[in-house]
Amino acid sequence: MDSNTLTASIIPPSQCDPLTTSLLVGLFGWALLGGLLAYFWNRRTRQLRLAREADDAQWKANRPLAAGAAVLAGTVLDEGEGAAVTVRIHQRGEEKRHKGAWQHFWTETHREVTARPFHVLRASGERVRVEPDERVSLVDKLDGITQDPESKTRCRTATLTRDERVYVVGTLVHAQDPPRGAGGDPGTTLVMRPPRGEAMLISTEPLADRHASAGHSYLFLALTTLVVLAITHGAYLSDYYALQLRGHRVEARITGTRTFDVWEKPKGSPGHNVSHYVIQARDPQTGAELEAESSQSFYLAAQSQKVTTVPFMVAGSIHQIGAAPTESEASLLFLGVLSIGYAIFCAVALAHQRPWWARKRVIDTGSGRLAPDTVSVR
């Protein structure tokens, strides 16, 4: 028999075979958790790079303008009626009762964006016309709210108004500026428009800040993942790795056998005793006494002296019956639940931290019933 077949015939039913153990440890312990660590670190590095680039772009924003991709920084000059850019988040309210406690939700049903041209006054005193379209991405606070208690609907709004400090990311092109003519040809000047095939970005907060904040969030998740990896592999699977890395196989001479019973009561059943079978052996190299649970069939063969030796994996004081290291089914189940649960936690954490303008739907929740004066913005 090869080593895998031999081990499978020796190890108790509660243990997974070596191949399955290796695959599950690799899948949940390294592919999932290690993949999350690599992803978070990569995203953290990218966000910090974008923060540096944004900071550099903001510094260059006060330089003389030229046609092409640019960042425009300044104060909004607007002579029109109302806001230059308005984002409306329409939401519908509902309430649910769970275990005696009420909770309400405001869920986005649709989103509207209205935008019209305005001017930005640069630090140099130069006025630049900005021509956003309805694809514009506005980075600002959702600080406006109107509510209709009768229909259980409301509208949250973010607006760009005169005198606000802004950073506009787009493309400068030579075009006519109706209110003012300047530049090379009469009546033409540089006008900021959306990049080809992309949305214009208008931010009321420094561009570098939002990337730096995202970078810190990814760094926190990367460090948390590193801690989970250390606990999982450094503590929880320490015996497994000790046998994998430092262990060696010995053919130990069987010196005795014993059994013990454990009372088990699965849910919905009356319960019963489960017998466990133990092999006692001696390491021929060191003379150390070895003992481990085995399968019933191997126990019976050892008890009748049909077999006189048994393979053990030994690493110092750590030892395990069989020709290769294994882990119990319960241990691997816990590893899988821990890894998947942690991945779900990370997904929820990222979704919770994502700002409203980066979400497909804005959902606000609160405790209590949906009353006429309920204004939850979480």
The residue ranges of every structural domain in the chain are 3-41+232-333, 61-206+355-367
pLDDT in tens, 145-194: 998 878 889 999 999 999 999 999 999 999 877 655 444 455 678 999 99
Spatial contact of 25 and 332, defined as CB atoms under 8 Å apart: yes
Please compute the mean of the pLDDT values over residues 32-51 and round it to a whole number.
Answer: 94
Stretch among 7-16, 193-202, 302-311 having the lowest mean pLDDT: 7-16
CA angle 40, 24, 242 (to 5 degrees): 90
CATH number for region 3-41+232-333: 2.40.50.660
Q: If residue 299 lies in a helix (H) or strand (E), which one and from where to where?
A: helix 296-303
Spatial contact of 174 and 67, defined as CB atoms under 8 Å apart: yes
Between helices 33-60 and 207-229, what is the axis angle to 10°? Answer: 160
Mean pLDDT of the residues in the chain: 89
CA angle 27, 32, 36 (to 5 degrees): 160
Q: If residue 352 lies in a helix (H) or strand (E), which one and from where to where?
A: helix 329-353
At 1 the pLDDT is: 46
pLDDT in tens, 51-88: 888 887 777 767 888 899 888 889 999 888 889 999 99
Position 49 pLDDT exceeds 80: yes
Q: How many residues does the chain have?
A: 378
At 184 the pLDDT is: 45
